Amino acid sequence: MVGSRGAYVVYALLVGIGLFVLVDDDNLVKKVVGLNVFQTGVFLFFITAAFRADGRAPLLSATGPFVNPLPHVLILTAIVVGVSVTAVALALVVRLYDEHGTFSERAIREARP
Amino acid sequence: MSHLLPLLVTVPIVGALVPVVLGARRPVLSRRLTAGVLVGQVGLAVAVLVAVATTGPRTYVVGGLPAAVGIGLRADAVSSVFVLLVAVAAAALSLTVRTDTTGPTDSLWLLFVAGLTGIAVTADVFNLYVFLEISGLAAYALVAGRRGTRAALAAFHYLVVGTIGATLYLLGVGYLYVATGTLAMADLRVALAAVGYDSPLVVTAFVLVTVGLGVKLALFPLQAWKPDAYAAATPDVSALLATLGSTVPGYALVRLVFDVFTASFLDAVPLVRGSLLVVGVASVAAGGFLALRQSDVRRLLAYSSVLQMGLVVFGIAIATPAAVTAALVLLVANAVAKGGLYAATGVFAERFDATTVDSYAGLGRDAPLTAAAVGVALVSLVGLPPTVGFAGKWYLAVAAVDARAWVVVVVVLLSTLLSLAYAGRVVERLYLAPAGHGVEPVAADGGGHAAVPSGDRAVAFVVVAALATVLVGLGSTALAAWFAPVVEGWL
């Protein structure tokens, strides 16, 4: 389980970086990227929790140890949800860009009638 | 009808495809089918309520798998009330208050209903996340449905904050799974007790789940998205969101705290209970004071919701049967009153171009029926008898006195004063202020007859909602008795 400790650190870093970009960055597209990084960190947490050293895919071999399949299934669902959120977010960003010709949130706020 | 529970979720989801397929080519047929699906959903919700009343709680495992493996659905006395509330509010608002009648909005409306119904009937914490996101995505897109920068920006912020909240909830679910190895609520209830309530994993999971749902409830300090989103959306959408958007996640929070973590968890970790009380006090105070400072009526009402959700959190923190019942009654009370009030802001905006508190001056004479209904709904928010808002606050205050939680007693009384202050501002403008300066009725009506028909139906909705606050208030003992077996089973 040496590798998995490292993965938990990466999970914390990804969540932190994602939130920081979301809060700090003025660029709307980068905010969407930050949201994705944040979500990816959470996905990594689930996958790490399912990890077993030398674990195999449970369907292909009869002898263990197996990697826990349930978190992977959950994360497949969560990834689909994340893609939908990204799509809606980017649609909104495109709409704002069409109106204002910029991705800068500050510029859009100032230009707003 | 053993498939009643899955139908509750699948009917609106499949129904949401109708406007996508037919909306462009056969708009009238599409509208009728959408209305049919919404009314059918009310029928299903009534059927579930009747089934629960006659044969007790119903459970269903999707795909006929064993309960430990499959995805469970469950309807008991509490969840069936919220399913009915979602179905009735969505159908009534769609038939009366809807202004924009395009296919995409119909589709999103149904997806919103599907997501919220799913939250109410799911018995699986991960599925709760999926339904949370389905309803969330529909809500973001509904807010963005209005043209212009303001709505797009508000929807973007709503999306960012809502997604952070849902993802934190998902992380909490991850911690729960790591701690227990299960996701079904019934199994978690047993497994968490075995793991130990003060295990860091369990406490972290509770904090993440509560913060995640707290974003959806707009508890202070997570409320910033709400006034912007509600004020930027079209009136019909903000009425829908205000009625259901925070109510059902509020129900989910009650369910998770008492059905999954249980009251023993609150007893075992006093810090959590203390934090809930602090969040409640902060939400009541911030919601009340910020509501007082708003000039836009819809922003004022959004902050009033922050205050109401603070009271709900008190009910959760006290955790006696009376307090939990109070939390549930307050959720219903807020939903009914806010639905009527937001629909009324739509009527005033459409007929008199009035959106600020000041521009409501004299509308008590120009639109007597709507103004009177607004008055009644505000009375329910303040919590005066005989409305349902009074019933909720009364149960909460009595439970707080019984639990010797004097802070809560004081804050509940203060919340009434704060509510009286902001509601009083609106009522004073409506009835006592001289007719507005330069506020002309937009519709050129001699006696109020020339307004658009949808406006008249909206007025009917406002009046019915105001009557409902009184009728549910008079029947509040029956409502509390209906919740009682489930609430006592939790505690």
* Identity of the residue in B137, B149, B171 whose CB atom sits nearest the CB atom of A99: B149
Residue of B126, B137, B144 lying closest to A74 (CB–CB): B126
Q: How high is the pLDDT of residue B443?
A: 45
3-state secondary structure string across chain B = CCCHHHHHHHHHHHHCHHHHHHCCCCHHHHHHHHHHHHHHHHHHHHHHHHHHHHHCCEEEEHHHCCCCCCCEEEECHHHHHHHHHHHHHHHHHHHHCCCCCCHHHHHHHHHHHHHHHHHHHECEHHHHHHHHHHHHHHHHHHHCCCCCHHHHHHHHHHHHHHHHHHHHHHHHHHHHHHHHCCCEHHHHHHHHHHHCCCCHHHHHHHHHHHHHHHHHHCCCCCCCHHHHHHHHCCHHHHHHHHHHHCHHHHHHHHHHHHHHHHHHHHHHCHHHHHHHHHHHHHHHHHHHHHHHHCCEHHHHHHHHHHHHHHHHHHHHHHCCHHHHHHHHHHHHHHHHHHHHHHHHHHHHHHHHCCCECHHHCCHHHHCHHHHHHHHHHHHHHHCCCCCHHHHHHHHHHHHHHHCCCHHHHHHHHHHHHHHHHHHHHHHHHHHCCCCCCCCCCCCCCCCCCCCCHHHHHHHHHHHHHHHHHHHHHHCHHHHHHHHHHHHHHHC
B162-171 tens-digit pLDDT: 999 999 999 9
Q: Which of B126, B156, B174 sits opposite A49 (nearest CB)?
A: B174
Cβ contact (<8 Å) for A92 and B159? Answer: yes
Q: How many percent of chain A have pLDDT more than 70?
A: 92
Residues of chain B contacting residue A84, judged by C-beta atoms under 8 Å apart: 133, 137
According to the model, what pLDDT value does residue A2 have? 45
Give the pLDDT confidence score for residue B490 in this predicted structure: 85
Residues of chain A in contact with residue B144, where contact means CB-CB under 8 angstroms, are 88, 91-92, 95
Chain B CB contacts of A91 under 8 Å are: 144
Contact B156 A74 (CB under 8 A): no
Q: What is the least distance, in Å, from the CA of B70 to any CA of chain A?
A: 12
Res A1 pLDDT > 60: no
The answer, for A80 touching chain B at a CB cutoff of 8 Å, is no
CB distance A74–B171 less than 8 Å?
A: no
Do residues B306 and B286 make contact, with C-beta atoms less than 8 angstroms apart? Answer: yes
Predicted pLDDT of residue A85? 94
Facing B174 at nearest CB: one of A35, A45, A96: A45
Q: What is the pLDDT of residue A4?
A: 57
pLDDT tier at A52, thresholds 50, 70, 90: confident
Q: Does the predicted interface ipTM exceed a cut of 0.85?
A: yes
pLDDT in tens, chain B (491 residues): 578 888 999 999 999 998 888 878 888 888 889 999 999 999 999 999 999 999 888 888 887 777 777 788 999 999 999 999 999 999 999 888 887 777 788 899 999 999 999 999 999 999 999 999 999 999 999 999 888 888 899 999 999 999 999 999 999 999 999 998 888 888 898 898 888 888 889 999 999 999 999 999 988 888 888 888 888 888 889 999 999 999 999 999 999 999 999 888 988 898 999 999 999 999 999 999 999 998 899 999 999 999 999 999 999 999 899 999 999 999 999 999 999 999 999 888 888 888 888 888 888 888 888 899 999 999 999 988 888 999 999 999 999 999 888 888 999 999 999 999 999 889 888 888 776 544 454 444 434 443 455 578 888 899 999 999 999 989 889 999 999 888 888 88
Q: How far is A89 from chain B (nearest CA, A)?
A: 6
pLDDT of residue B30: 87
Give the closest of A45, A74, A85 to B163, CB-based: A85
pLDDT of residue B436: 56
Task: Choose, out of A92, A96, A99, the residue to mutate when testing the contact with B (most B CBs < 10 Å).
Answer: A92
Banded pLDDT at A70 (limits 50, 70, 90): confident
| Contact residues, chain A, for B126 at CB < 8 Å | 74, 77
Provide the pLDDT for residue B449. Answer: 40
pTM: 0.92
Q: Is B432 exposed, middle or buried (0-12, 13-18, 19+ CB in 10 A)?
A: exposed
Tell me the residues of chain A between 16 and 35 that have a Cβ less than 8 Å away from chain B: 19, 22, 28, 31, 35
Cβ-defined contact of A81 to B155 (cutoff 8 Å): no
